[in-house]
Amino acid sequence: MSQWYPKKGKVIFHVDMNSFYASVEVAYDPKLKGKPLAIAGNPEERKGIVVTSSYEARAKGVKTTMQLWEARRLCPELIVLRPNFDRYRTASKEIFQILAGITSYVQPVSIDEGYMDVTGTEKHGSPIEIAQNLQRKISNELDLPCSIGIAPNKFLAKMASDMKKPMGITILRKRDINEKLWPLKIEEMYGVGEKTAEKLRTFNISTIGDLANGDAYQLKQLLGINGERLQNKANGVDMRPVDPDAVHEFKSIGSSQTLAEDTIDEAEIRKLMHQLAENVERRMKRKQAAGQSVQIMIRYHDHKTITRSKKLHHFIENKSDILQFANELFQKHWNLEPIRLLGITVQDVDEKKNIAKQLDLFTYEQEAGKEKLYQAIDNLSQKYGKDIFKQLRNDDREDKPRTSFQKDFLDDFKE
C-alpha cells in the first residue's frame, strides 16, 4: 500500500460538505429530498437573503446571498426554511468525529469544511480508498453528501474539492496543474476576491495560468506580498501544514448582519448594535477571551463600506463595554446615509488566562468573583433561551443567521 504514498511530501484532503445547511435539513426530513430548498434568515420578509440552497434549487438559478423574492421568482415551487443552527452544529461535530477516526491531523476551517493530512495512514488503504470510504461513511451514517480534494498541499486540495460537486472525489497533482488548474478563470482561484480579480485583469491576467506565469515584480508592485503568495499557489506551491491547533488561534471576534431594508432609523440601528454586541460578548465568553480594540464596519446603501477602530488602554469582554466603544465610533463616523449592513469586532484578542497578568489585579479579581453568576446566567440561557428574565420578542430569535456562526462552531470543536 505504501506505493500510493509519496516518499517525500504530503497527501492532503480537503473535505467540503455539499450545500450543508440544506443537506442537513433533507437528512432530518427525507420528504424534502429531490425538492428545491432554500435556507433563509427571514422567509416571511420580501428582502430575506438566501443563506444556501439545494442543488435542485440551484438548477433553477437560486444562489447564495440572492434576495428571497428573486429566488421565488426564479423557482416558484421553492421551499424556504429558517436555519436551525443547533441541528447544523450537531451534524458538524459528527462529521469531524468521523474524520478524526482516520487521522489526528484534522484542521477544521468552518462548520462544513476541513483539511486532513493522511500521510502515513496506509493501514486505512490508498488515498483514493480512504476518500471513498469517508464519503460513503458520511453518506450512510449521516445522509450527507461531501466532495473531497486530494493533493500534495492545502491549496491544491481546496481547489480540487471544488472541481466536482456534489459527491465528487478529485485528485490534483502538481504535474496536472497546467491542464486542470491553469485554464480556470482567475476569480475561481481560492484566495482571489472580486477586487483582486479586477486588479489582475487590468494587467491582462484573466486565468490562473496567467497568474502563474506573470511577471513576479509586477505582481508584487500590484498586490504586495500577497501577489507573491498567490503566484506561488498558482504554481502549486503551498507550504502551510495541516494544523489541528489552528482552531485555538484567534486575533479578533466579530459579528455583522445585513438589515432587512436599508435604513437611517436610529432606533432600528441601536437595536441591531445591541444584538451585535451581545453576539460578540457570547463568543468572547465561550472562548474565555478579552480584547483591547473595537472596530465597527458600516456598509451603506450603495455598498460603500468603511471600517473604523479604536485602541483601548484596557481589555474588555462584556456587552456594555463593547457597545459603548462601538457606539462612540458609530456616532463619530456615520454620515447619516442609509445603512445596509453593520458589524462590530473586538480585536487584539487573547485568552484571559494569557492576559491576566496584564490586567489590573483589583479589576480582574472583581470580575473573577462574578464568574459564577455569569456562568449561572449562561447555563439558564442555554437551557431556556436568551433573555429569560424578560419576555422574548420575535426579533430576538436565536435562529437569525449571523456571520459569526461559522466561527462559533470552532469553539464546539475544541470542547
Cα–Cα distance measured from residue 59 to residue 362, given in angstroms and rounded to the nearest whole number: 61
pLDDT bucket at 195, cuts 50 / 70 / 90: confident
- Which of the residue ranges 6-15, 35-44, 86-95, 390-399 has the most confident prediction, judged by mean pLDDT? 86-95
Q: Is 314 helix (H, G, I), strand (E, B) or coil?
A: strand
Residue 64: predicted pLDDT: 87
- Known binding site for Mg(2+): residues? 16, 112
pLDDT bucket at 44, cuts 50 / 70 / 90: low
Cα–Cα distance measured from residue 87 to residue 129, given in angstroms and rounded to the nearest whole number: 30
Question: Considering only 53-57, 238-242, 246-250, 338-342, which range has the smallest mean pLDDT?
Answer: 246-250
pLDDT higher than 70, residue 406 = no
Cα–Cα distance measured from residue 93 to residue 414, given in angstroms and rounded to the nearest whole number: 10
CA distances (Å), origin 390, targets 121, 321, 384, 393, 396: 54, 22, 12, 9, 11
Categorise residue 45: left if φ over 0, alpha if ψ from -120 to 50, beta otherwise: beta
pLDDT bucket at 398, cuts 50 / 70 / 90: very low
Residue 141: predicted pLDDT: 97
CA distances (Å), origin 268, targets 280, 296, 333: 19, 16, 17
> Which residue do the cell numbers 506580498 mark?
225
pLDDT bucket at 5, cuts 50 / 70 / 90: low
Residue 172: predicted pLDDT: 97
- Active site (catalytic) residues: 113
Residue 194: predicted pLDDT: 86
Residue 363: predicted pLDDT: 45
Mean pLDDT of 170-184: 96
Cα–Cα distance measured from residue 40 to residue 69, given in angstroms and rounded to the nearest whole number: 11
Output 246 or 187, whichever has higher pLDDT: 187
CA atoms within 13 A on the CB side of 374: 15
Q: Which domains does the chain have, with CATH numbers?
A: 21-84 (3.40.1170.60), 182-234 (1.10.150.20), 250-414 (3.30.1490.100)
CA distances (Å), origin 39, targets 61, 112, 223, 343, 410: 15, 15, 36, 22, 21
pLDDT bucket at 268, cuts 50 / 70 / 90: very high
CA distances (Å), origin 389, targets 111, 283, 319, 373, 380: 31, 21, 17, 14, 10
Model confidence pLDDT, tens digit, residues 113-140: 999 999 988 888 999 999 999 999 999 9
